[in-house]
Structure 1
């Protein structure tokens, strides 16, 4: 198959930005010209002039490019700022935020001036267009330590025997008004970024952890989506209203699970949770029957030392039934709101779609499954979901998880878009014809726009020109997609850095692993205990190269006389390679099966 090719014929504008990295000090005594090595390996080294070379050696610094003379191997630049010692936790966090273009400076005084004055309370004016739902037994269920509580739920039986379920979302758009400095800063940030030990808020803390957070036993403004359902979880009526709620309990997933499972607890909150859980199971089954995918990607959780804040343990996150319970109702609310805003604003609805992957994306999954005599069908999401459900092995229970992890890697990125600028709305992963984000306005700006659209649709707020300008909405979606992608990369970089810290204190660790991918000179392995992925290379600088035979069809790699297949269980040694202080990495070496190297030098075999 021919692929389109092209060549660069000219550069219209250079996309230069300040770069983080380290100084490579010149060997010439008292030299003023030195080379700077950027952290981003794609960027060439930059020549700078400085008299501070002795001070800056071993430091992370920022350098800006000034120009690139035609006859020079390197661009010229200048020193901007010293960030601190390489390897220091604060310094490395700053580097990863800068390198991933995450806005993280403190909020300016102009932005903070648009916050409500404290002490704040709900006024008569606020009550005018709101329903008072403070009598309802509402509760929130979140991860431990969560302070930015976006959502709360309630469930109760109504007089006619049906069930009323409410999803109550923090009314952030009440506090952030269109076009002011607070609104502009929130849209610029686009999303809250969660690092291992730090949270970079999209909105100031007064809102994120206090006035908007649906904490227990305080009156809070909310935007509620309320359904009347029958006992088969079929929606009979849907209504949306601005409201006032008073959450009766802020629970963790584990606490909510404990209440549901308890034989002795029968209070209103526990009864509500049991009702929600029962309905969620029906909703989930229906969603999966319609072709929604349940994929897998191991998430890691670090346990920190309370004094040094270094990671002392690394585990994969355990998901409870209550995680799924909350997720089902968030999905349902997002779909209900998407339908409403599209019905009302067919040209201006901010929606979220997940494109179907091109068939070639699935090659690796299909071949890997075939190597275990399993067939994976990929002609639709439903066919994929059903074949993943059937793909298993009684002798190898972890195989299904590995297949789902591989399937996740085949997927496209979900994106925000404006309904008037696109005609493909389908969300492939959720098997939903329409979808949006409504349930997390404290941490996602897209949800704030969706709240504004919904408020106008139900007559609870007035519109403004930008809200009904599809070109401006499309540009905003482009920025939000970029910010979400960079936040994801920053989060991964933070996990990678903390993983390095963990193994730095551990020395060499020997663990079981499974082969996920086979490359021409390496295998990519997953270590289930840590949810950690890494590459085992068989070609190393300065060492004799073994005989390698790569088979793309089977997915396998033969190293000398040892053949490694996708999904094989192996043992690896894990250690930190700190030989390059700027690019430290986790190194993995195959221990079992043991590879016998027979390397030829000329005619002599050793």
Structure 2
């Protein structure tokens, strides 16, 4: 204790104390300083024109109770000078102002009247801070880019991409390389296995334009079938170190928004040269397996091929053939489905989780406004393709990692890994679902999770519980350090099957090709560090793309639901804060909030993180309670839905 007090006294004597500032929505702030356990509290009037994330210098004030107070005396470095917000113009005001619904900064930025010419009220803009005079409470700025009117389809896409630092245009160098590849169309088939005479087809979503994978099947005799999974040979065209390669790495992944794709590779490559289009000779990297009639794999082969797809199927077309038991390639499709079901059964028996989420999709009108919301569910056609892609990713990973005696090599590879869930989170999950009549066996977690998922099928609480399960789970990522894939119950697993849209798969292709050609591997520590760094970067870009896709989907959901203001809905309580209750609306699978201050029947306070209680009537609401609510308001700018209990 004496040592701690001595440290504090020495700290107050320091002339220069610096740290990064965290400013709350209310204007007061905290600064985290190395060497001190507690953050330094900065009152609202002492932030001295600093903004969120700035590196600042602090002068310490007198200690107040347990708090150590300070004031900002200098901004050493701004974290950001450019911000995305919405321009508000009022005719009788001296300034226009850019507001920030997402609260990226705690103050509006003023735009002088003489700098507003040509701009419109409610436009989403990129604004740059020019100066912040001492006599003004707000900084002054200038608009450097306009995205369009707030709440419009194109506006929201391009402002999101700007916010996340994603480029939607390709450089001249990349376009030049793409054009050269397009004109050459280099087809060196001398070292490739020719698979063009085998029945081959692609199965993809109806709106897909880039076809990463195709599947072939050939009956060798009454007991053996040869099944090929053919993946676009992107690395044949995208050479390591080229402008194309560097751009693909920078982007990391394609981003899929409703009716819009921000591709990792230019369209001439992704939708044409690399894409496994029907009735065209295409270069691929293939995994070919011999199955016996019991679904056992007798032989595997991996290598470069040339294929010719007979037909492009959509999932809906294949499902129709499965249901009606007739149509193009029916015999091939039914055989593939038979083997895929064996693969699924074996995977689940081995301990894989059977978590399958419904995907929220929209129909848009000609102005790109959402006119219909629906949920996309995987069917047999999806499962057929999914199982063969999982098989390919697993078997390639095993081939690279194990020698003929099934002992581990020390080869470098990029793995898709998934860690075990946090035990404490499992205990917390059990506490939440227990009042709903469910429980988990901590000793046999996977089995009990699958049993739970089966039990909640078609139940109102399904979406809520599935979200809770996802929060318990670790996030899958890329790494050269293999720990296995917990969710799939695979010891070895990679991502190989989507090189048109994932850079991780390009890395996997290059490494596998190197091992096939030379059967050598470099044990260099530097090389492993290089690939680990690339793996971490691919994981980072994946998380960014998921965030962008979710945020854009939320925008469409909020815009769609606006027309239902005043209507009543069923929902389930999914969370509590000091100021509100989160409700998941069954019909839309989107969360809205009831502000505690808006509840008229009583004054409610947070009793625990899982419940609130009324002060007078002592009524308690718990997580998972089903409730009836009314849609009160929708704020598209903030992507917020306001609800209230029915009286």
Shorter-chain TM range is: 0.7 to 0.9
Question: Any unmatched runs of 5+ in structure 2?
Answer: 1-35, 42-54, 57-75, 404-408
Pairs within 5 Å for 1:380-419 = 381-388=445-452, 391=455, 397-399=459-461, 402-417=464-479, 419=480
Q: Which residue of 2 aligns with 1:373?
A: 437
Asked if structure 1 preserves the Cα contact closer than 8 Å seen for 2:319 and 2:379, the reply is yes
Deviation string, structure 1 residues 115-134 (Cα, Å, up to 9, x no partner): 254875865x5101211101
Equivalent in 289, 303, 307 of residue 245 of structure 1: 307
When residues 391 and 367 of structure 1 are mapped into structure 2, their CA distance, relative to the original with a 3 A threshold, is farther
Larger mean CA deviation between 236-245 and 256-265 belongs to: 256-265
- The farther-off stretch of 275-284 and 187-196 is 275-284
SS at match of 1:312: strand
- What TM-score do you get using the length of structure 1 for normalisation? 0.84
Give the match's secondary structure for 2:381.
helix
Matched, 1:589 2:644: yes
Q: Deviations over 1:207-229 (max 9, x none)?
A: 11111111222111111111112
Provide the rounded CA distance (Å) in 2 between the counterparts of 1:346 and 1:37.
55
Paired residues, what number? 571
Aligned to 1:22: 86
Q: Give 2:157's aligned residue.
A: 93
Structure 1 residue runs of 5 or longer lacking an equivalent are 595-606
Shift of 1:17: 5.9
Pairwise mapping of residues 463-502 of structure 1 onto structure 2 (< 5 A)? 469-502=527-560
Aligned to 2:353: 293
> 1:56: how far off?
5.3
**Within 2, Cα distance between the matches of 1:128 and 1:539?**
74
User: Does residue 1:546 correspond to 2:627, yes or no?
Assistant: no
* Most deviating of 148-157 and 466-475: 466-475
Q: Aligned ranges for residues 420-459 of structure 1 at < 5 Å?
A: 422=481, 424-459=482-517
TM-superposed CA distance for 1:296, in Å, is 4.0
Q: d(CA) in 2 for partners of 1:467 and 1:234?
A: 38
Distance 1:192 1:83, change over 3 A: same
Matched, 1:82 2:146: yes
- TM-score w.r.t. the length of structure 2 is 0.79
1:151 matches 2:186: no
Q: Is the 8 A contact 1:16 1:65 kept in 2?
A: no
Whether the 8 Å contact between 2:98 and 2:111 is mirrored in structure 1 is: no
Equivalence for 1:181: 243
Q: CA deviation at 1:52?
A: 2.0
1:466 and 1:302 map into 2 onto residues whose CA distance is: 49
Q: How far apart are residue 334 of structure 1 and its match?
A: 0.8
Following superposition, the deviation at residue 347 of structure 1 comes to 5.0
Instruction: Tell me by how many angstroms 1:256 deviates.
Output: 0.6
Q: In the alignment, is residue 324 of structure 1 matched against residue 383 of structure 2?
A: yes
Which one of the candidate residues 367, 371, 388 is aligned to 1:312? 371
The counterpart of 2:258, out of the listed 182, 196, 200, is 196
Give the match's secondary structure for 2:412: coil
- Helix, strand or coil: the match of 1:469? helix
For the residues of structure 2 that align with 1:284 and 1:115, how far apart are their CA atoms? 40
Per-residue CA distance 1:44-75 (angstroms, 9 max, x = gap): 32655642246354222212346889999666
What residue is the counterpart of 1:602 in the other structure?
Answer: none
Change (3 A) 1:239 1:425: same
Distance 2:645 2:278 in 1: 51
Q: 1:570 is paired with a residue of what secondary structure? A: strand
SS of 1:376's partner is: coil
Q: Equivalences for 1:31-180 in 2 at 5 Å?
A: 36-45=98-107, 47=109, 50=112, 51-53=114-116, 55=119, 57-65=121-129, 78-104=142-168, 106-115=169-178, 117=180, 126-159=188-221, 161-180=223-242
The alignment partner of 2:202 has SS state of strand
Indicate if the aligned counterparts of 1:148 and 1:213 stay in contact, CA closer than 8 A: yes
Give the conservation status (yes or no) of the 8 Å contact 1:297–1:408.
no
CA–CA separation in structure 2 for the residues paired with 1:76 and 1:379: 60
> Is contact 1:37-1:44 (8 Å) kept?
no
Q: Deviations over 1:407-452 (max 9, x none)?
A: 12222211111x2xx3x52212111122111011111111011111
Work out which of the residue numbers 262, 266, 275 in structure 2 matches 1:213.
Answer: 275
CA distance in 1, matches of 2:498, 2:320: 25
Give the structure, 1 or 2, with the largest relative contact order (CA under 8 Å, sep 6 or more): 1
Q: C-alpha separation between the residues in 2 aligned to 1:206 and 1:43?
A: 40
- Give the secondary-structure state (helix, strand or coil) at the position aligned to 2:378: coil
2:525 and 2:236 mapped to 1: Cα distance? 16
SS in structure 1 at match of 2:486: coil
- Distance verdict in 2 for CA 1:463–1:557, change over 3 Å: same
Q: Distance in 2 between matches of 1:370 and 1:582?
A: 37
